A and B are shown apart, each in its own frame.
Chain A
Amino acid sequence: MDWVCCWHRKVVEPGGCPNIGEGEEVLYTSYQRRILEKCIDCPNFRNDLQKMQESGNPLGEVVSFLLGEVREQRGKLQSMVSFLDSREREIKFLHEISLVLQTSVDLDEVLSVVMTAITAGKGFGMNRAFLLLADKERKFLRGYLGVGPLTFGEAWEIWEDIQRDDFTLKEMARDFYQTKLTSEKQKFHDVLKRMTIPLSDPNHVLVRALREKRPILVENAFQNPECDHSLVQALGVDTFLITPLISRNRRIGVIISDNCITHKQITPQDVQSLETFAFSVAFAIERASLYERLQEELLKVTAANVKLKEQQELIVRMERMALVGKITSSIAHSIRNPLMIIGGFARTLLRGAADDDPQREYLESIGQQVRQLEEVLEDILNYSDSLYPTLDIWDVNQLVSAVCRELNGRLHERRVACRLRLDTGLPPARIDYKQVAYCVRTIVNTAMEGMPEGGEIRAETRRENGWILVEISDNGVALSRESIDAMTTPFGSTEELGSGLGVAICKTIMEKHGNLFEVDTPPGGGTRYIIKLPVNREET
């Protein structure tokens, strides 16, 4: 018989079989393989078989039957291969996801991976997913994050983007984390707000999924009496899948996913895959939340540690200061009595002396020097008193006006006007009244002494950057920078003001109490003293 096909030849010349292509040259000599791979589907072979049957050859019938069987088996094999392929892809995908989940401790990053995996075509391919997390007290499940399109149009845009960018799942998750997380949270804000379910409600379908530790596929939700009406309204679909997230018996949250756009059926395969996925998700979320809490605790402990160290240093400093204060105070007091007796008698003698008595000058001098020493002692005692501040809540305006009123006589004597401009809306301050009053008094006295010809002192209070400011300025001669430095250093001496402790002590006292003290020369002339006092935080 003349055969059209080359099946009966052991060896075929190159070009002898139209089905053998480039790279398949081995088939020219490999007889068995050529029959199995090429002849089976070759139309010439089918013609030859037809001819064989028509000629009454019984092998024609048998070969045809065997051929059908081979084709069927091959089809089965192919579908098995494609099933295995898809399984392999799924395993690869789960592996990729679990790698990210295992390594990340950032809650938002974990959630980005999870939500991308559920909604991406390369992942589980659901249209939308909502995550509800149990709150810290484990009293409520609260809507935390929603991912997916709101409308059909938006869905198309997203899918087109995905096709154009062709990201891997990992890249998509990273892109989502970096660019979309906040906007997605915002997009579903209203829906998420309506998703607050008490964990104590045992009949709620979400709580039931958690209790039974298994996914629940809800169908006909609008008619389902078991479904919370407001939840179904918020979702707006009648079929959705609830996947519980449980880590070592702890209820972490639930994921609700649906196909609101495509209305594709959620298959048992989908349910099973998501359930498997949920194990690692729950674990990763819990770990990330624990890590977050650990970080918070760590910050608290670090802050407490710093505070403790500060307190310890403060105690050491205060002990040292207290000792210095005790010694200073004891010396000052033992000097005070004899000094007072010397000065007192000098004054008595002076009063008894005749106007032309040559001793008068000596007595006057003793009196003056004693007075000066007494002033120094007063300053030192004030300083040692300042080591033990008594903080309380005071009205700064009342303090400033009381001090100015007290100095009224001396101001008048020296022809110095004192103008007050007090802010009536000032909050109360937390200060040592005695010490602040001492400072205000010292500043007014210093300003007054700097204006022997008389002048004007302005005392102003106001609120600025969380502080209460007391600003006292005079219109006397502006001090040089060196004079100001000397004035604010203990025992420094200035040409204009002589030597003394006054302003330096004010600065030390104020700064020790956590207040600020500045002296400067404003462009308009004169000298400006600024005390910054803390607002009483408990009241504001």
Chain B
Amino acid sequence: MARLLVVDDESSIRLLYSQELADDGHEVATAATAAEAVEKIKESEFDLIVLDIKLKNESGLDLLQKVVKERHNLPVILCTAFSCFKDDFSAWLADGYVVKSSDLTELKEEVKRVLVKKGK
């Protein structure tokens, strides 16, 4: 079991991810904005962040850079509706990249893979 933080501006998606990932036995917290996410990271320890790239008026990639700089051993999986960000240099900082789909198998597999890789 791991502690995960799902960052997405869409409440339904936060709900869906929390439920699905909790079903896999993880403890899931959520954040709707980058600020809220930073706050939560400060407050408690997480094993993995699932991060949306488009957050209302903010960029998930900025938050990714901040996390990599300040908490370099906290893995991040980028989760987005855009497949084109795969070619963005800053996206390469992430440990995983998943294109949003109603079938969450890929996301779950990616979470499992990254956690195993980080030994968590």
Q: Give A contacts to B, CB under 8 Å.
A: 333, 336-337, 339-348, 351, 367, 370-371, 374, 381, 385
Contact = CB atoms under 8 A, between A and B. Distances in A.
A343 B16 CA distance: 10
A342 B102 contact: yes
Contacts of B84: 385
A337 B10 contact: yes
Given A341-B16, A344-B13, A370-B102, 9 more contacts: A337-B81, A339-B102, A341-B10, A341-B13, A341-B102, A343-B101, A374-B101, A374-B102, A381-B83
B100 interface: yes
The range of chain B's interface size is 10 to 19
A344 B82 contact: no
B10 A344 contact: no
12 contacts: A333-B81, A336-B81, A336-B100, A340-B13, A341-B13, A343-B103, A345-B16, A347-B104, A348-B23, A370-B102, A371-B102, A385-B84
A341 B52 CA distance: 14
Contacts of B82: 333
A337 B100 contact: yes
B11 to A, nearest CB: 10
A344 B81 contact: no
- SS class of chain B's interface: helix, strand, loop or mixed? loop
Contacts of A337: 10, 13, 81, 100
Interface in B82-113: 82-84, 100-104
Contacts of A370: 102
A336 B52 CA distance: 14
A381 B80 CA distance: 14
Given A333-B82, A381-B83, A347 B13 contact: no
Given A341-B12, A341-B13, A346 B102 contact: yes
B110 to A, nearest CB: 15
A367 B101 CA distance: 11
A1 B16 CA distance: 159
A345 B102 CA distance: 8
B83 A344 contact: no
A290 to B, nearest CB: 54
A343 B107 CA distance: 14
A206 B103 CA distance: 88
9 tightest A-B contacts by CB?
A343-B102, A336-B81, A341-B12, A344-B16, A370-B102, A340-B102, A344-B102, A340-B100, A333-B81
B96 to A, nearest CB: 17
Contacts of B27: none
Contacts of A374: 101-102
A390 to B, nearest CB: 8
A75 to B, nearest CB: 104
A371 B12 CA distance: 18
A70 to B, nearest CB: 112
A35 to B, nearest CB: 117
B81 A347 contact: no
Contacts of A340: 13, 81, 100-102
Contacts of A342: 102
Which of B81, B100, B102, B103: most chain A Cβ within 10 A? Answer: B102
B20 interface: yes
A347 B19 CA distance: 11
Nearest to A351: B23
Nearest to A346: B102
A481 to B, nearest CB: 35
A351 B103 CA distance: 12
Contacts of B19: 348
B20 A367 contact: no
Nearest to B83: A381
A131 to B, nearest CB: 63
Contacts of B20: 344, 348
Interface string B37-57: 000000000000000000000
A88 B82 CA distance: 92
Interface string B5-41: 0000010110010011001000000000000000000
Contacts of B104: 344, 347
A370 B100 CA distance: 13
Nearest to B100: A340
Contacts of A343: 101-103
Nearest to B82: A333
A467 to B, nearest CB: 28
Contacts of A346: 102
Nearest to A370: B102
Contact of B16 (A333, A336, A348): A348
| Of A348, A367, A385, most B-chain CB atoms within 10 Å | A348
Contacts of A381: 83
A367 B105 CA distance: 13
A367 B23 CA distance: 19
B103 A347 contact: yes
Contacts of A371: 102-103
Contacts of A344: 13, 16, 20, 102, 104
Contacts of B103: 343, 347, 371
Of the candidates A337, A344, A345, A381, the one having the most CB atoms from chain B within 10 angstroms of its own CB is: A344
Among B20, B23, B81, B84, the most chain A Cβ lie within 10 Å of the Cβ of B81
A381 B100 CA distance: 13
